[in-house]
Structure 1
Amino acid sequence: MTEQSLYERLGGVYGIAGAVDILVDRLFENASVNANDGVHAHHGVPANAPGYKFLVTAWSVQAAGGPPCYPGLDMVKAHETLKITDEQFDAVAMEIASTLNFCGVPSAEHTEFMDIIESYRSEVVEQRPKAA
């Protein structure tokens, strides 16, 4: 018997879309996330909420091992002008973790999904030159 993918264990597209609906509403309300003017404009709060929820859902489906369906830019290109700091990445990661907890995602799946999120840190956080 084959082990289920994380996508399947998270409830497939319906489970993921439900969590993303909650998550994006939380992100739009998070002062730390929205303190970055680039992120605030990127989200297009609130006008672009449905589109942003679609992209985050599609990305999450694909990242969790579901069908390829994410039509957006790769993570480097999508975030290159946003000047995201480690602290802002951590604020988003905290909201993701809190949403997974709120939705009752079991510990193993929670950890597995958060490991995926963390693996994208270097692609999302602005790379600053090191001081000499």
Structure 2
Amino acid sequence: MSEQSLHDRLGGIYAITGTVDILVDRLFANAPVDANEGVHAHHGDPANAPGYTFPVTAWSVQAAGGPRCYPGMDMVTAHETLKITDEQFDAVALEISATLNSCEVPTPEHTEFVEIIESYRSEVVEQRPKAA
């Protein structure tokens, strides 16, 4: 018998959707994340939450090995105008981790999902020229 996907071990679409709902509320309330003008366009109005929740849920489902359902852009294209810093990436990663903790996601699945998030750092964080 093959090992279950992370998607299945997280509880599937319903559990992932519930967790993302909590995460989005946390992200909208996160002042350091919202301080970024580009990100603020997503977070500025709480009415935007459902529109933000859908792609984050679809991406999470797909990244965790569930059905291919993410209709959005690749991570580089989706984030290239946002000028996200390492500190802002860390703030989002911390919110993700805290949300997984609050939802009592077991340590192996928590660690695996956080590792997936970290693997996208270079695609999300603005690449700055190195000082000479």
Within 1, Cα distance between the matches of 2:38 and 2:46?
Answer: 15
Could you say which residue in structure 2 is the equivalent of 1:22? 22
Could you say which residue in structure 1 is the equivalent of 2:56? 56
3-state SS of the aligned residue for 1:13?
Answer: helix
Could you say which residue in structure 1 is the equivalent of 2:4? 4
Within 2, Cα distance between the matches of 1:105 and 1:12?
Answer: 12
Within 2, Cα distance between the matches of 1:35 and 1:43?
Answer: 10
Identity among equivalent positions (%) equals 80
> What amino acid does structure 2 have at the position aligned with 1:13?
I
Q: Deviations over 1:23-45 (max 9, x none)?
A: 00000000110011110113453
Q: Deviations over 1:46-97 (max 9, x none)?
A: 2221111010000000000000000011100000000000000000000000
TM-score (norm 1): 0.98
Could you say which residue in structure 1 is the equivalent of 2:107? 107
Within 1, Cα distance between the matches of 2:109 and 2:24?
Answer: 20
Within 1, Cα distance between the matches of 2:71 and 2:44?
Answer: 18
3-state SS of the aligned residue for 2:46?
Answer: coil
1:91 aligns with 2:91: yes
Contiguous gaps of at least 5 residues in structure 1: none
Within 2, Cα distance between the matches of 1:119 and 1:77?
Answer: 16
- Aligned residues between the structures: 132
Could you say which residue in structure 1 is the equivalent of 2:39? 39
TM-score (norm 2): 0.98
